[in-house]
Amino acid sequence: MAPDVEREPQADEQVDYLEELSRLNNELVNAQRQLAKKNAELEALSKLKDQFLGMATHDLRRPVSAIIAYAGLLQDAGDGPHSTEQKEFIERILDAATFMSKLVDDFLSVAMIESGRLKLGRDWTDLPTLIGRVLPLAKLQGDAKDVAITAEQDPRIPPLFLDSGKVEQVLANLLGNAVEHSHAGSQVDLLSRLEADRVVVEVVDEGVGIPEDLLATVFDPVKERRTVKTGGELSTGLGLVISRKVVEAHGGRIEAESQVDQGSTFRVFLPLPSDGDPSA
């Protein structure tokens, strides 16, 4: 029996193959052009969104600040001509306007981050001094809910090359969140320690905790948050998003672990500066 011999394609079949290959190549080129066009449109829309958000938040600052100022003046009137009900209304106005001011600030921060305009003004920073600036406000917030704030710091931590203002914002966010999710009579601990080539800062609470299905997305700006704040506090939901971006801009990372009804721990890792490059 003669062995099978592969048949050479005929000339007309070769032409068909080449035509099909040419057609597929043209479709690929067209698809690439459409993709490039869509990407350009998305980039333009993203820039427009960031520009609009920046303008909107900037324009909102003035009227919100005016509302806070006038509501504060009315509140400071003390035992003036206001009834008990009117005083309660003034307090609600002040709370809502203060929340709106925080919302505007958070939106502006997110707009700057997403547009790549987050700039770090780094300088040599003593971490205990920085934490000392954050604690008084956190303790005031804790006192209002009967939540104790404690701090324990590792004396071996050397000066760090940080944007102190932005790192303060991170720690204030974490402490504020911990208090808001804590029960009266509980405690929030701020701990810092030196680990090899990095510094670790932890905020530990004994609060309501975070459900497992939400834990992996607590730093995600597009995920819904269903955690319960024990005092019914208002929240923008953007503090953790901003904190993650700031920490990552410093070359560090932030993580969370939690158990429902037992509490949460937020952990910030900040790298030590190298000898050759303090911003490394």
**Please, is 40 exposed, middle or buried when counting C-beta atoms within 10 Å of its C-beta (0-12, 13-18, 19+)?**
exposed
The token pair at 123 is 């300088």
Kindly report, residue by residue over 190-212, the tens digit of the pLDDT. 999 999 899 999 999 999 998 88
> Which residues are CB-neighbours of 1 under 8 A, at least 6 positions away?
none
Residue 158: predicted pLDDT: 95
> How would residue 233 be classed by pLDDT, with cut points 50, 70 and 90?
low
Domain with CATH 3.30.565.10 in the chain: 124-271
CATH class of 9-117: mainly alpha
pTM here is 0.66
Q: Which of the pair, 60 or 178, is modelled with greater confidence?
A: 178
Per-residue buried b or exposed e for 43-63, using 16+ beta carbons within 10 Å of the residue's own CB: eeeeeeebeebbeebeebeee
Q: Read off the DSSP letter of residue 266.
A: E
3-state secondary structure of 195: strand
Domain boundaries 124-271, corresponding CATH code: 3.30.565.10
The torsion defined by the Cα of 163, 167, 169 and 171, in degrees rounded to 10, comes to: -170
Q: Quote the CA–CA distance of 26 and 86 in Å, as a whole number.
A: 72
CA 23 to chain centroid, in Å, comes to 48
Alpha-carbon distance of 140 to 134, in angstroms, equals 11
Listed in order, the ranges of the chain carrying CATH 1.10.287 are 9-117
Q: Is the pLDDT of residue 49 over 80?
A: no
DSSP 178-193: HHHTPPTT-EEEEEEE
For position 87, what pLDDT does the model report? Answer: 81
Residue 226 in contact with residue 267, Cβ under 8 Å? Answer: no
Average pLDDT of the chain to the nearest whole number: 82
Question: How many C-beta neighbours within 10 Å does residue 176 have?
Answer: 20
Which of 25-39, 95-109, 156-170 is predicted least confidently? 95-109
Q: Pull the structure tokens for residue 107.
A: 């939106």
Tokens of 135: 């604690």
pLDDT value of position 192:
96
Structure confidence by residue, pLDDT tens digits, 61-80: 778 888 888 888 887 776 66
pLDDT digits (tens, 9 = 90+) for 161-183: 999 988 998 999 899 999 999 99
Amino acid at 267: R
Are 46 and 111 a contacting pair, CB within 8 Å?
no
Predicted confidence at residue 51, as pLDDT, reads: 67
